[in-house]
């Protein structure tokens, strides 16, 4: 079984990984967790005026790795195979796309659990993933 775990480095993401580790004990199949961090894009026109494209790409990779690493380590310490992924884009769309591309059976992610009014005004990555994903989505508060 392959699960996409979308993380943003927050305590909510840590709650999701902890819940996933507890859940994994109930699975009969071997679990592979694809840990994904989605970096919001830097305005490329602005960045490339001052920095080489390789520098910007390196920044994305290094920052993403720093955010994903603690989650990978926690999963591996629990005996779960985990792979790191860092993407750049709109989080909701990128998470849903990655779940399809990586052929995941489900998506897990933490949610800040804001109310309906806040969600409707500001939007929600979790709501966007639920709307776009073609697989089950588990949200952990």
Q: Give residues with Cβ within 8 angstroms of 141, minimum separation 6.
A: 12, 15, 110, 111, 113
pLDDT in tens, 12-47: 999 999 999 999 999 888 999 999 999 988 776 666
pLDDT at 64 over 70: yes
Least confident window among 56-65, 70-79, 91-100: 56-65
- Count CB atoms within 10 A of the CB of residue 17: 25
CB 63 within 8 A of CB 14: no
| Confidence (pLDDT) at 44 | 67
Domain architecture of the chain: domains with CATH: 2-140 (3.40.50.620)
Strands 81-88 and 106-110: unpaired
| Confidence (pLDDT) at 56 | 80
CB 42 within 8 A of CB 71: no
């Amino acid at each position: 079984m392959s699960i996409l775990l979308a993380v943003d480095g927050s305590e909510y993401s840590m709650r999701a990984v902890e819940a996933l580790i507890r859940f994994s004990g109930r699975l009969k199949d071997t679990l592979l967790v694809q840990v994904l961090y989605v970096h919001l894009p830097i305005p490329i026109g602005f960045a490339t005026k001052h920095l080489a494209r390789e520098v910007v790409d390196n920044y994305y990779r290094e920052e993403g790795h720093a955010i994903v690493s603690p989650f990978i380590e926690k999963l591996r310490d629990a005996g779960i195979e985990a792979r790191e992924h860092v993407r750049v884009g709109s989080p909701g769309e990128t998470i849903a796309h990655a779940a399809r591309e990586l052929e995941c059976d489900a998506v897990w992610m933490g949610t800040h659990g804001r109310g309906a009014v806040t969600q409707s005004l500001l939007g929600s990555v979790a709501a966007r993933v639920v709307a776009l994903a073609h697989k089950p989505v588990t949200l952990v508060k």
